[in-house]
């Protein structure tokens, strides 16, 4: 199996967005995403099981050091059973109050990508903070490449955005990806923020998984059938 990585050379396989692009001259649509500094993105090493304090809330120590109190409050407000973990609908509520009205399909994909491998489709304080920071990066990318300030990303803007963060996606692949969001009419597909994040995470996630197998970064890798299916299917299954 072979592929082209474009200009993307990162050695990190954590489920996160690339660094923010240079600042845009445009005024951001929503500044809430800048509320917290990105925590350490070493995803494989930072996870630990959450504990719940006597007050019923996950104590602040379960959040990465320096987490903005607004992020902590966003988690606590939706963790109604005080378990220290939130499910898809609770995450949807938390993110919709600050970023965008995410659909459940995107929410469930994000949980799948960020959750600890041994956990069900829930995330704890540390995963939530990492996800919040990741979405802040994606929001910056979205706003930079939404050139007409429509609040939507059209196919050309999506192509430029992916190329700008290092993914030279072939036109045929881009068309196939966009068909996922078509309503069946002849109208041009335009992506809201949640669908844009979903597209970006699919491209980045599959590229990162491929790169794990392509240890020489040659653009080619040998995969078994089981490895291929395990790599691709999580990004294809319906999370509705």
Binned at pLDDT 50, 70 and 90, residue 30 comes out as very low
For each of the domains in the chain, give its residue range(s) and CATH number, in order of start: 56-139 (1.10.238.10), 149-235 (1.10.238.10)
List the one residue out of 104, 172, 95 whose CA is nearest residue 135. 95
Query: Do residues 235 and 206 make contact, with C-beta atoms less than 8 angstroms apart?
Result: yes
Instruction: Identify the residue with better confidence: 64 or 236.
Output: 64
Binned at pLDDT 50, 70 and 90, residue 12 comes out as very low
Model confidence at 145: pLDDT above 90: yes
pLDDT at res. 52: 39
Q: Over the stretch 175-199, which tens digit does the pLDDT of each residue have?
A: 999 998 888 777 889 999 999 999 9
| Whole-angstrom distance, CA of residue 53 vs CA of residue 141 | 37
| pLDDT, mean of residues 119-146 | 92
pLDDT at res. 133: 92
β-pair partners for 123: 86
pTM summary value: 0.72
Long-range contacts of 80-89 (CB under 8 A, 24+ apart): 82/52, 82/56, 82/57, 83/52, 84/50, 84/51, 84/52, 84/58, 84/124, 84/125, 85/50, 85/119, 85/122, 85/123, 85/124, 86/122, 86/123, 86/128, 87/111, 87/121, 87/122, 88/121
pLDDT at res. 137: 93
Cα radius of gyration rounded to whole Å, the chain: 18
| pLDDT, mean of residues 223-229 | 93
Model confidence at 204: pLDDT above 70: yes
pLDDT at res. 126: 92
User: Sign of torsion, CA 107 113 114 117?
Assistant: positive
Percentage of the chain beyond pLDDT 90 is 44
Mean pLDDT over each residue of the chain, to the nearest integer: 77
Residue 134 vs residues 24, 41, 184, 190, 197: alpha-carbon distances, Å: 19, 9, 31, 22, 10
Instruction: Identify the residue with better confidence: 32 or 6.
Output: 6
pLDDT at res. 149: 93
pLDDT at res. 238: 55
Place of tokens 């320096």: 66
Query: Do residues 194 and 102 make contact, with C-beta atoms less than 8 angstroms apart?
Result: yes
Binned at pLDDT 50, 70 and 90, residue 96 comes out as confident
Query: Do residues 160 and 145 make contact, with C-beta atoms less than 8 angstroms apart?
Result: yes
Residue 19 vs residues 10, 22, 135, 137: alpha-carbon distances, Å: 10, 9, 11, 7
Torsion angles phi and psi, residue 189, rounded to 5: -75, 130
pLDDT at res. 239: 52
């Amino acid at each position: 199996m072979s592929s082209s990585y474009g200009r993307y050379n990162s050695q990190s396989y954590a489920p996160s967005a690339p660094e923010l692009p240079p600042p845009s001259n445009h005024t951001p649509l929503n500044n809430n995403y800048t509320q917290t500094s990105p925590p350490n993105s070493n995803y494989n090493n930072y996870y630990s099981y959450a504990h719940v304090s006597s007050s019923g809330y996950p104590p602040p120590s379960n959040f990465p050091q320096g987490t903005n109190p607004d992020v902590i409050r966003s988690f606590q407000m939706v963790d109604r059973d005080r378990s220290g973990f939130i499910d898809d609908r609770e995450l949807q509520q938390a993110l919709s109050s600050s970023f965008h009205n995410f659909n459940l399909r995107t929410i469930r994909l994000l949980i799948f990508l960020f959750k600890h491998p041994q956990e069900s489709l829930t995330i704890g304080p540390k995963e939530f903070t990492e996800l919040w920071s990741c979405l802040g990066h994606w929001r910056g990318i979205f706003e930079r490449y939404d050139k007409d300030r429509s609040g939507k990303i059209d196919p050309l803007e999506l192509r430029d955005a992916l190329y700008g963060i290092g993914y030279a996606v072939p036109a045929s692949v881009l068309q196939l990806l966009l068909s996922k969001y078509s309503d069946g009419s002849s109208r041009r597909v335009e992506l809201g923020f949640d669908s844009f994040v979903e597209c970006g995470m699919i491209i980045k996630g599959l590229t990162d998984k491929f790169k794990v197998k392509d240890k020489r970064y040659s653009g080619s890798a040998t995969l078994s059938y089981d490895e291929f299916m395990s790599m691709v299917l999580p990004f294809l299954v319906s999370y509705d």
